[in-house]
Amino acid sequence: MYKWFHQMGSPPTFYKWSGQWLPWLGITCLILFVVGLYGGLVYAPADYQQKDSFRIIYIHVPAAWMSMFVYVVMATSGAIALIWHIKLSEIMMLSSASIGASFTFIALVTGSIWGKPTWGTWWEWGDARLLSELLLLFLYIGIIGLYSAIEDKRKAAEAVSILALVGVVNIPIIHYSVIFVNTLHQGPTVSKFDSPSIDTRMLIPLLIMAVAFKLFYIIVLLVRSRNEVLWRERRSQWVKNIIKGSGHE
């Protein structure tokens, strides 16, 4: 198992299998986005209180979920890079930072847009979910800035890994903030099966969009990581062979 783990983490192996999977992931992601958006914007009924303004949920909620998921992936990759010194894990961590920051920014913006007709305000500083999500954005930005500020990239990667691991404590705070703190933000809906619960016609498109967002993250992560691998391994023979092969096509 340990040998397989290192083999799959080797740059040539990663570059090969990721290139094989990317087209299929892209097609599947596109189909899910089309189905999910149609289901959310057309098939799902209007909410009895919020009417059609609730439909921003199909962008806001998956983006919010991904903002937390990407950070956990980043922290896990950082831990692997620190413990086993696997180069690909370090690349995955660094490639995830800007993607996670983008998801977090989208979640905050769409949340504000949704909050205006629902709460009557764009932003509420007393809301625990909003503040913890904003802190997550600052963590992403801090990680990106820290890596750029340290000239020695090996030391920079170690510092970023430690910061990512420390910051992961914010993830359960975001998740449970609406449960333990009385705020404007609504409580859990998807994971709540007793009445009142989300309508199935609303839930299915939401879950489809969640999968589509996750596949989109994987696609962008693989593309960014492949580019970083090529750059870091540009003097390796296997990269030179790829360049030669591309030149003959």
Supply the pLDDT for residue 180: 57
Q: Report the distance separating Cα 220 and Cα 235, nearest Å.
A: 24
Supply the pLDDT for residue 225: 96
Is residue 171 within 8 A of residue 71, CB to CB? The reply is: yes
Question: Which of 75-89, 150-164, 172-186 is the least confident region?
Answer: 172-186
Is residue 211 within 8 A of residue 203, CB to CB? The reply is: no
**What pLDDT, in 10s, does the model give residues 112-124?**
998 888 777 877 8
**What pLDDT, in 10s, does the model give residues 76-108?**
999 999 998 888 999 999 999 999 999 999 999
Supply the pLDDT for residue 122: 76
Collapsed DSSP state (helix, strand, coil) of residue 51: strand
**What pLDDT, in 10s, does the model give residues 51-70?**
888 899 999 999 999 999 99
Q: What is the mean pLDDT of residues 142-150?
A: 96
Collapsed DSSP state (helix, strand, coil) of residue 30: helix
Residue 190 predicted with pLDDT over 90 = no
Task: Indicate the burial class of 191 (C-beta count within 10 angstroms; 0-12, 13-18, 19 or more).
Answer: exposed
